[in-house]
Chain A
Amino acid sequence: MTDDTLLKVRNLTLDIPVGGGTLRAVRGIDFDLKRGETLSIVGESGSGKSLTSLAVMGLLGKGIKRSADEMTFEGTDLLRASKRKMRALRGDRMAMIFQEPMTSLNPAYTIGDQLIEALLLHRSVGRETARARAVELLEKVGITAAESRLGQYPHQLSGGLRQRVVIAMALMCEPDLVIADEPTTALDVTIQAQILRLLVDLTREMNMAMILITHDLGVVARVADKVAVMYAGELVETGPAASVFEAPSHPYTRGLLRCIPQPGKTERGAPLGTIPGIVPSLIGEVSGCAFRTRCPHAVPGCRAAIPMRGDDVHGYRCVHPDGAISAEREIA
């Protein structure tokens, strides 16, 4: 482990008490993030991506139980940090961008107030300095006439503009880590690419690390350094983006990759691949591979606990030495 490790998570588990027992939404996941690196977490709806990011921020709802062997951020033990320490980190060293730009700004305050608040919570600077910083960031996120925008209220801005404001707000203190949870899903398709481009450029420019949660594997391929594929609360495959895209080693990852259209390869109008079946219930223990009920290569051995295979950088959780890629080739 080198010194530039920013975030280290080992065996993170999240339990939610529900009516008939405990829902284990995240099941012992590990990941690391270095300064300036972009990690993309992908996976179907309900696989635990948002909860994982909230767990890092210390923003889990009441009642959700978090446990881990290790969770450190810039040398701070997040498992044992006081509420006050977490507050000091949040918004300053680590910031979060949520999915819903329409509702994630407070309707009662001007965007200027909200941007300035983000800085004043952590820095003892004057209002004028904070104001200047807000203008600077609004300009950075590509908002014209920034000065006059400060006095506007969220309802006076379009969705795309609001998400730019949310991004500016997250960057006010120049955090070391930005977690973006599906930052563009709620936006028009035409604006999605712009906002994502902006986010990626800014994190590079400011040398920030980013955890980008998304459904869009096309995006991941373009911007991520590392990929973590989640399924039913587990990390089923993780590794450098190039390696995972080139040699996807878990049948679920390959299933996801078949779901994205590929320029040149996918014929116009041809149906995209889908993964048949449903995610198993996460209440109680899930023994063995959670994907086996939907996996075309499932064998009796899949019922046992599956260790991580592969090497230090690119690992996957499958009993087949090559994720049964050989079987797939035969069919094809």
Chain B
Amino acid sequence: MLPFILKRLGLALLVAFTVSFISFSLLFLSGDPAAALAGETASGEDIEAIRRLYGFDRPMIVQYLEWLFAAVRGDFGESYYFKLPVAGLIAERLQVTMTLGVCGISFALLTAVPLGVAAAVRPNSIIDRVALFLSVAGQAMPSFWFGLILIVVFAIQLGWLPPSGADSWRHFILPTIVLGYYAMPAIMRLTRAGMLEVLNSDFIRTARAKGAGEGRVMFKHALRNAIIPVVSLAAVQMGFMLGGSIVVESVFALHGAGYLAWESIARNDLPTVQALILVFSMFYIVFTFLADVLNAWLDPRMRSS
């Protein structure tokens, strides 16, 4: 197990370096950063002055390393727009996004996995049909529309929950449902397909022949094997939720990191965009790594490969 983890860790670090370099290069790919900073009316001399002031005239590799070492220490520079340290800005927004992401993926897993198992245990039953309906509806319905419906029904008409903001845990209920429901169909169908396949395998028959009860057969013997691909999928979706829940954050006016990224792109706030891309990528890398470790624990065959 340990060699496997170290190998994966090495791989993750390698990917992290590559990603950090790419996100740093964005500064230069999007045009002359000095000119962008100086504004449209600036003279050539002003631009040169800014170039020297910000150090854009030095070799790229030097700038990259400087940026990287600062970033590792948590210093992402100053936002062009807010004139505040990027790190503090992101940290505040990330809290909202992470809360939402963790709640969203938990909601998705807690509904999708039991539903997928139940559907697989009794294919074509009522519960299977309900599960199929929920998954098709979840995929067909745009998140912003579903979010608006929930706001209209539960916030405006029934008045049970607040329609927007991030002040208390109650503010997170509706966004969690919308975000979770977005991830639910794929997890549900993968669980169902996995369970159907595993339930047909010989070792399930062996378990029954040993005298194991249905519960033990389903959960100890079948689900343990069927859940393996679901873990990888959930990790990807988790990474996606932490970076890409812009729609949900906008609908519910939750000022999270996704929303900040969107604003910063519009404002040409390069240090913030750079930092966000780096942070989002790190989330992906961390979750993929954790999923690999979890999978290796679930499936011993993976450890040796």
Residues of A within 8 A of B (CB): 57, 59, 87-92, 95-96, 98, 100, 103-108, 110, 117-118, 121-122, 153, 155-156, 166, 169-170
A122 and B203 contacting across the interface, CB-CB below 8 Å: no
Chain B residues with Cβ under 8 A from A121's Cβ?
A: 210-212
Most chain-A Cβ atoms within 10 A of its Cβ — which of B298, B299, B300, B301? B300
User: Would you list 7 pairs from A and B whose C-beta atoms are within 8 A, ordered by A residue?
Assistant: A95-B210, A104-B203, A106-B206, A107-B299, A107-B300, A108-B299, A169-B206
Measured CB to CB, the closest approach of chain B to A67, in angstroms, equals 21
Beyond A103-B203, A106-B224, 8 additional contacts (C-beta under 8 Å) are A90-B208, A90-B211, A91-B210, A98-B206, A105-B203, A108-B224, A153-B300, A155-B300
Q: Which of B203, B210, B301 contacts A90 (CB 8 A)?
A: B210
Bound-complex Cα distance A215 to B123 (A): 35
B205 and A122 contacting across the interface, CB-CB below 8 Å: no
Chain B residues with Cβ under 8 A from A107's Cβ?
A: 203, 225, 299-301
Q: Chain B residue with minimal CB distance to A89?
A: B211
Q: Considering the complex, which residues of chain B in the window 179-215 have a beta carbon less than 8 Å from any beta carbon of chain A?
A: 201-203, 205-213
Chain B residues with Cβ under 8 A from A105's Cβ?
A: 203, 206
B300 and A108 contacting across the interface, CB-CB below 8 Å: yes
Question: With A106-B225, A108-B298 as given contacts, are A87 and B211 in contact (CB-CB < 8 Å)?
Answer: yes
Q: Chain A residue with minimal CB distance to B228?
A: A108
Interface residues of chain B: helix, strand, loop or mixed (majority): helix
Bound-complex Cα distance A7 to B203 (A): 26
Most chain-B Cβ atoms within 10 A of its Cβ — which of A88, A92, A98? A98
Which bucket holds chain B's interface residue count?
Answer: 20 to 34
B211 and A103 contacting across the interface, CB-CB below 8 Å: no
Measured CB to CB, the closest approach of chain B to A324, in angstroms, equals 41
A103 and B201 contacting across the interface, CB-CB below 8 Å: yes
Question: With A108-B299, A155-B300 as given contacts, are A98 and B205 in contact (CB-CB < 8 Å)?
Answer: yes
Question: With A57-B209, A169-B210 as given contacts, are A104 and B202 in contact (CB-CB < 8 Å)?
Answer: yes
Chain A residues with Cβ under 8 A from B301's Cβ?
A: 107, 153, 155
Measured CB to CB, the closest approach of chain A to B140, in angstroms, equals 33
Measured CB to CB, the closest approach of chain A to B121, in angstroms, equals 11
Chain A residues with Cβ under 8 A from B212's Cβ?
A: 87, 91, 117, 121
Instruction: Confirm or deny: B221 has a beta carbon within 8 angstroms of a beta carbon on chain A.
Output: yes
Measured CB to CB, the closest approach of chain A to B1, in angstroms, equals 12
B209 and A90 contacting across the interface, CB-CB below 8 Å: yes
Chain A residues with Cβ under 8 A from B206's Cβ?
A: 98, 104-106, 166, 169
Bound-complex Cα distance A90 to B207 (A): 10
Question: With A106-B207, A155-B301 as given contacts, are A87 and B202 in contact (CB-CB < 8 Å)?
Answer: no
Chain B residues with Cβ under 8 A from A169's Cβ?
A: 206, 210
Query: Which 9 residue pairs are nearest across A and B when measured between Cβ atoms?
Result: A91-B211, A91-B210, A103-B202, A90-B211, A153-B300, A104-B202, A106-B203, A96-B209, A104-B206
